[in-house]
Chain A
Amino acid sequence: MAVQFSEEKLNKVKEIIARYPEGKQKSALIPVLHLAQESFGGWLSADTMDYVATLLSIEPIEVYEVATFYSMFNLQPVGKYLFEVCQTGPCMLRGSDDIIHYIKEKLGIKIGETTADGLFTLKTVECLGACGYAPMMQLGKFYKEHLTKEKVDQIIAECRAQANN
């Protein structure tokens, strides 16, 4: 098999499965897909999904059904840094359109595209539940809130610096 969790991650999978009653290990599917996405380059390939199906003793189609339904699962490769900018009403009222436009200009990419160096992917997303701290975006595990053009510059610079280290 092309993909394989580390021993540590396999133990984590076992721990997740143990949260549910016996025979209900399919409940672990979404948490294990999150773990797989984090572990295998930020997206879910067919091989990865098949591997998850094997781990949970379910059919591959059951994994595909779920992976294609939820917007947080990437089915194509993405950049090292995924900018997910909220564009829903409350963020729009606080200028998210301008922020999206600025990021597009700054990175030279359109929504859904990845920079040539493979560092950045820009996505627009629907409400992230940070409406009081708008405009905002999700970057990895964390939220970047009260965005301004200056703050966007700083985030991009930090990502570049981190990537170079």
Chain B
Amino acid sequence: MGRKLLLDKAHIEGIRYYDVYRKNGGYAAAEKALKSMSPDQVTEEVKKSGMRGRGGAGFPTGLKWSFLAKPEGVPRYLVCNADESEPGTFKDRYLMEFLPHLLIEGLLISSFALGANTTYIYIRGEYAWIPDILEEAIAEAHKNGWLGKNIQGSGFDLNIYVQRGAGAYICGEETALIESLEGKRGTPRIKPPFPAVKGLYQCPTVVNNVETLAAIVPIINIGGDEYAKIGIGKSAGTKLISACGNLNKPGVYEIEMNISVEEFIYSDEYCGGIPNGKRLKACIPGGSSVPIVPANLLLTTAKGEKRMMTYESLNDGGFATGTMMGSGGFIVLDEDQCVVRHTLSLARFYHHESCGQCSPCREGTGWMEKVLKNIEHGKGKMSDIDLLWDIQRKIEGNTICPLGDAAAWPVAAAIRHFRDEFEWHVLHPDEAQRRNFGLAHYADPLPVAAAV
């Protein structure tokens, strides 16, 4: 059984409520930070922990905090990114729904370290029932002296507010999120200036993901050095993985970053394998924007070793052979799934979610969707595959924000690894034939005992 730092108390009945959370060790880390540490010492612990941001980019959190500008007389803000809109990713919802005080405690410690007296939780609008849960927990924290003025006699003041978005994936990008929080369209800003210098209301701002902020609690509880010992190398600590698609046990799992991908998919402790004994065909291990990989490359590195659930191992060899940890949104495809059809669904998603600010993204995502639709529906030409490749190349790296890359990479990876499947579609326009691939991308069924 892997060590759990975030979900270790998730099974306790009533842990959503202050009294139960407090009785089970809640707010001990906040007490420690506020009463015995300076803001710089808190940041130092986070740096020592080696934790990388859990939103997808994987940038070291302590380092990000240290970039925050601190001009005199100007407020600083912490914004919690709870927008969580990446297909395959639903881990932050779990934390907010079942452990709201863990997030509030993490926000309190982080705001103290950053010198922010106002913090906003920007949550995706569709999670419409969760703001009530968070607001109830915020009210409880206020009532018990963990929010408001002079928290626990520390002299530190903090208010936390919840802001609902309204259905725009782009608002997960930090500058688009800030624009949205200011009551505008969620269109990304050109960087620099970075939010750490000019963010919300043109003031210094740190934007961190829900899981990142929740993880500050165990880091302070056990210490940065101890946290850094968990995992492998630069993949320190535990990570929430939201597993979905063709799995026996989809759901949210907390893993120590020292297990193999094979163990994660096939062991009973985690996903329990593929339904109906089917073969694993492919996987997107880090949310829809990261490259899809066929089973054989997913389970084994370029050196022939078992691929591990770490940032480094998943990225082994770059996009050509590996993929990325990303947000931890783990999407599994069994042998019956059609990669072209799946790629089309993702292209439609990115086309729908493009904010329209940059031409390559606005036009390119729609163009990719159209070409993919033709191929999927038996109207494609062989040259369309090269056209698709060409379009994604023209999007990647040519947009203000990473949405362009996020739209381009799934298409690029699908063509790179599954070109034969695209060709099969063109050559076999009949629907029934197109579903009968017989192409060799699969992993043989792995019995659980052999996988662990």
Chain A residues close to B by CB (< 8 Å): 19, 21, 24, 26-31, 33-34, 56, 58, 62, 65-66, 69-73, 87-90, 92-94, 125-134, 138, 140-142
Q: What is the bound-complex CA distance between A89 and B329, given in angstroms?
A: 12
Per the 8 Å Cβ criterion, residues 346-376 of B in contact with A are 346, 348-349, 352-353, 355
- Cβ contacts under 8 Å, B129 to chain A: 141-142
A126 close to B166 (CB less than 8 A): no
Chain B residues close to A by CB (< 8 Å): 75, 84-90, 93, 118, 120, 124-129, 161, 163-169, 180-186, 201, 242-246, 250-252, 288, 329, 331, 333, 337, 341-342, 345-346, 348-349, 352-353, 355
- Cβ contacts under 8 Å, A26 to chain B: 182-184
Do A88 and B349 form a contact, CB below 8 Å, given A128-B126, A132-B252, A141-B128? yes
Interface residue from A29, A131, A138 paired with B89 (Cβ < 8 Å): A131
Closest Cβ of chain A to B43, distance in Å, is: 25
Q: What is the bound-complex CA distance between A142 and B129, given in angstroms?
A: 7
Please name the residue on chain B nearest to A140 by beta carbon: B128
Known: A72-B125, A92-B342. 9 other contacts (CB 8 A): A21-B201, A66-B183, A90-B244, A127-B349, A130-B93, A131-B87, A131-B88, A131-B244, A132-B242
Interface residue from A58, A94, A126 paired with B169 (Cβ < 8 Å): A126
Closest Cβ of chain B to A97, distance in Å, is: 9
Closest Cβ of chain A to B409, distance in Å, is: 14
- Cβ contacts under 8 Å, A92 to chain B: 341-342, 345
**Chain B CB within 10 Å, residue with most, of A29, A88, A90, A94:** A90
B167 close to A27 (CB less than 8 A): no
A-B contact pairs, 19 of them (CB 8 A): A21-B75, A24-B182, A26-B183, A27-B181, A30-B165, A30-B180, A65-B185, A66-B185, A69-B185, A70-B186, A88-B348, A88-B349, A92-B342, A127-B87, A129-B127, A131-B244, A131-B329, A132-B251, A134-B250
Closest Cβ of chain A to B173, distance in Å, is: 14
Closest Cβ of chain A to B101, distance in Å, is: 20
Q: What is the bound-complex CA distance between A21 and B352, given in angstroms?
A: 33
Q: What is the bound-complex CA distance between A82 and B182, given in angstroms?
A: 28
Q: What is the bound-complex CA distance between A132 and B163, given in angstroms?
A: 25
- Cβ contacts under 8 Å, B163 to chain A: 19, 27, 30-31
B166 close to A33 (CB less than 8 A): yes
B342 close to A138 (CB less than 8 A): no
B184 close to A130 (CB less than 8 A): no
Interface residue from A31, A70, A130, A131 paired with B168 (Cβ < 8 Å): A70
B183 close to A28 (CB less than 8 A): yes
Please name the residue on chain A nearest to B246 by beta carbon: A93
Closest Cβ of chain A to B258, distance in Å, is: 23
B168 close to A129 (CB less than 8 A): no
A89 close to B90 (CB less than 8 A): no
Q: What is the bound-complex CA distance between A92 and B342, given in angstroms?
A: 8
Q: What is the bound-complex CA distance between A34 and B180, given in angstroms?
A: 14
Q: What is the bound-complex CA distance between A88 and B180, given in angstroms?
A: 24
Closest Cβ of chain A to B361, distance in Å, is: 15
- Cβ contacts under 8 Å, B180 to chain A: 30
Q: What is the bound-complex CA distance between A126 and B201, given in angstroms?
A: 30
- Cβ contacts under 8 Å, A89 to chain B: 87-88, 288, 331, 342, 345-346, 349
- Cβ contacts under 8 Å, A24 to chain B: 182, 201
Do A30 and B166 form a contact, CB below 8 Å, given A90-B245, A131-B244, A132-B243? yes
Please name the residue on chain A nearest to B352 by beta carbon: A126
Q: What is the bound-complex CA distance between A34 and B183, given in angstroms?
A: 12
Closest Cβ of chain A to B138, distance in Å, is: 11
- Cβ contacts under 8 Å, A71 to chain B: 166-168, 352
**Chain A CB within 10 Å, residue with most, of B86, B169, B183, B250:** B183
